[in-house]
Structure 1
Amino acid sequence: MAEDLCLFNKDSLILKPPKKSILLLRMVVLIFSMVCGVYIFSVCLRQISVQSTGQLFSVQVVRPCEPPNVEPSEKPFVHYPKPKTFSRAECTCHPVRYFAILSTQRSGSGWFETLLNSHINISSNGEIFSVKPRRTNASTIVETLDKLYNLDFFTSASKNECTAAVGLKWMLNQGLMQHHEEIVEYFKSRGVSIIFLFRRNLLRRMISILANSYDQNAKLLNGTHKSHVHSHHEAEILARYKPTINATTLIPNLRQVDEMVTKALEYFKSIRHILLYYEDIIKNPSKLREVQDFLRVPQMDLNSRQVKIHKGSLSSQVENWVEIEKALKGSPYESFLQEDYKM
């Protein structure tokens, strides 16, 4: 019996551990290995991702400027130019409106433009199409306009960074009428507004043209020709010249200018515009407030250093007034003989 017991204890001592314990241990090791592998893989993947997209993180995302609170109908006329020649800095998101002054020579456009340029936010850049190569064809016209409205066309009137309205003065005989279809299309697509500025009394305009043409050769001001003057003394010297008008061609010439103005109004009537007359601005300076409202700029008192040359009655400004009076009597232009304003 004792032997049996000893044998039993001996056998019990050499028993092998159950197979379930080995399987459990293997499972734990396997799971641990998988967890480590996943962790290592994720770390490597993250490093590769950072390296491959490092350049993207360095790019600064530029958000477009938010349009101001304007009516839907006004939004096509609000622009944010990006000049190639300078930075608009803090004014990058300051909206700019585009305009063009359409006029004829000696209609007060030079004086009117100096008034606009006295506004701190308006840049009107003169007769840039008086230079013929810029108006050779529609392509050169568009190229010049693009440069102007992108604020890359520099003149003494340029306000640069904080310009709120930018434009030019464009005479009807400077390629405007010849290429009116392309220009209308451009104005519509770019949201350009038009300021029509004409003269009611075309006889006064003719006198101014003839006097200015004479001074180009005579150079009455100490051998210097000036189309516009800044002193009353200079104005008096230029006003002493009294042109002689050809009475025979007077009416055909007046009709030609009248028809050209009518055509211009018809060609560009589909563009957002305002119509002004030189005489109306002289008699009613509040017209300048209408212009500022039209351009959507803050209201300011506008001023000009230019001094008017021809004043007083027309009869005192023409050498052969009796002939002119006789030629216009009974014609559609008889009203031009009357005094339309006083200075």
Structure 2
Amino acid sequence: MADDLCLFAKDSLNLKPQKKNPLVLRMVVLIFAMVCGVYICSVCLKQIGGKTTERLLNVQVLERPCDATNIEPSEKPYVHFPKPKTFSRDECACNPVRYFAILSTQRSGSGWFETLLNSHINISSNGEIFSVKVRRSNMSTIVETLDKLYNLDWLTSASKNECTAAVGLKWMLNQGLIQHHKEIIEYFNAKGVSAIFLFRRNLLRRMVSILANSYDQNAKLLNGTHKSHVHSPHEAAILASYKPTLNTTLLIPNLKQVDDLVTKSLEYFKSTRHIILYYEDIIKNRTKLVDVQDFLRVPQRDLNSRQVKIHKGSLSSQVDNWEDIKKTLKGTHYESFLYEDYKL
């Protein structure tokens, strides 16, 4: 019995240490792997994030609006890259477009002048858009109309299939232009719209043209059709056969009214980028058309029109009461209108 106890004690003293639990080792290895994995992932994410940012930046650069680097800084406010909703400009997308408006009065040669501009392959002038009253009923409708026009979404016969470099309209002073002049000037300056003033020096000839045109609206001398502009000498001769009688009592007040309207418009819009033209000057000197093309920054071309002038020659042959008109204007500021002449 004692021997057994001794053997038991020896065995107890000579026991080998127990092996470490494999589960603990596995946990240590797993934690180490996780730490390494987190570190590696963080490094990779930084690199991937940097590349992604670069890609995003590259995409942004590609989708940025066109930039005309060869345009002078002072000219950039007047350069635009419209994105029409109704069609795609395709290869013309980065072709710069300038906005303009022909500001004039009725029977001052603006219709003829506009046909000259539209004969240029890169210019689109869309006529008297604001002759329709609802479009000029308030400033909101005016802005809506102008935005559509300058975005190249106003489609008329003047719209070009080629790369349009200048787009605009013909706008008479009495078509909401003076009434809303403050807001329109703000719009012009904000949008970079250039104004082309076109007036007639001889306001007496303009008055004769207005009266004759007004008469034909009712008489319809051309086979029952009214035409404000004609394309043949025969049609022009028929319309010129009517000789209006001018009211000499109202003659000077009427001339002064138009004169004041022109002066007022020039004063109002002097803060805009503009050029001032006169019908008679264009007729006498066609280099004025070169000045207009330079003003619009379009390539210079020979401009032409199919329109034929209606009233030619001296004023004495165009009115019915010439002697009364002479007496009324003699010694006044407007006497020179009696004798000024030009050939077309």
Quickly name the TM-score band, shorter chain normalised: 0.7 to 0.9
Task: Tell me the CA shift for residue 64 of structure 1.
Answer: 2.1
Question: In the TM superposition, what whole-angstrom CA distance separates every residue of 1:249-288 from its partner, at most 9, and x where no partner exists?
Answer: 1001000000000000000011010000000000001100
Aligned partners of 1:118 and 1:304 also within 8 Å: yes
Aligned partners of 1:118 and 1:303 also within 8 Å: yes
Task: Tell me the CA shift for residue 299 of structure 1.
Answer: 0.5
Determine the structure 2 residue equivalent to 1:206: 207
Determine the structure 1 residue equivalent to 2:337: 336
Which amino acid in structure 2 is aligned with residue 124 of structure 1? Answer: S
Question: In the TM superposition, what whole-angstrom CA distance separates every residue of 1:154-212 from its partner, at most 9, and x where no partner exists?
Answer: 11111266211010000000000000000001001000000000000000000000000
Q: CA RMSD in A?
A: 3.0
Task: Tell me the CA shift for residue 63 of structure 1.
Answer: 2.3
Determine the structure 1 residue equivalent to 2:4: none
Question: In the TM superposition, what whole-angstrom CA distance separates every residue of 1:93-133 from its partner, at most 9, and x where no partner exists?
Answer: 11110000000000000000000000011010000000000
Aligned partners of 1:151 and 1:160 also within 8 Å: no
Task: Tell me the CA shift for residue 67 of structure 1.
Answer: 1.8
Aligned residue pairs total 318
Question: In the TM superposition, what whole-angstrom CA distance separates every residue of 1:135-156 from its partner, at most 9, and x where no partner exists?
Answer: 0111111111111111111111
Which amino acid in structure 1 is aligned with residue 164 of structure 2? Answer: T
Determine the structure 2 residue equivalent to 1:311: 312
Task: Tell me the CA shift for residue 30 of structure 1.
Answer: 6.1
Aligned partners of 2:116 and 2:305 also within 8 Å: yes
CA distance in 2 between counterparts of 1:35 and 1:159 reads: 69
Aligned partners of 2:131 and 2:175 also within 8 Å: yes
Equivalent residues in 2 for 1:31-110, closer than 5 Å: 34-35=32-33, 38=36, 61=60, 62-110=63-111
* 5+ long unaligned stretches in structure 2: 1-15
Determine the structure 1 residue equivalent to 2:7: none
CA distance in 2 between counterparts of 1:172 and 1:85 reads: 30
Task: Tell me the CA shift for residue 42 of structure 1.
Answer: 6.0
Determine the structure 1 residue equivalent to 2:143: 142
CA distance in 2 between counterparts of 1:79 and 1:73 reads: 14
Determine the structure 2 residue equivalent to 1:10: none
Equivalent residues in 2 for 1:142-181, closer than 5 Å: 142-159=143-160, 162-181=163-182
Moved more, 147-156 or 257-266: 147-156
Task: Tell me the CA shift for residue 36 of structure 1.
Answer: 8.1
Equivalent residues in 2 for 1:229-248, closer than 5 Å: 229-248=230-249
CA distance in 1 between counterparts of 2:161 and 2:59 reads: 25
Task: Tell me the CA shift for residue 305 of structure 1.
Answer: 0.5
Aligned partners of 2:283 and 2:343 also within 8 Å: no
CA distance in 1 between counterparts of 2:133 and 2:156 reads: 18
CA distance in 1 between counterparts of 2:76 and 2:226 reads: 44
CA distance in 2 between counterparts of 1:78 and 1:40 reads: 53
Task: Tell me the CA shift for residue 340 of structure 1.
Answer: 2.8
Determine the structure 2 residue equivalent to 1:288: 289
Question: Percent sequence identity over matched residues?
Answer: 75
Distance 1:37 1:263, change over 3 A: same
Question: In the TM superposition, what whole-angstrom CA distance separates every residue of 1:295-318 from its partner, at most 9, and x where no partner exists?
Answer: 000001100000000001110001
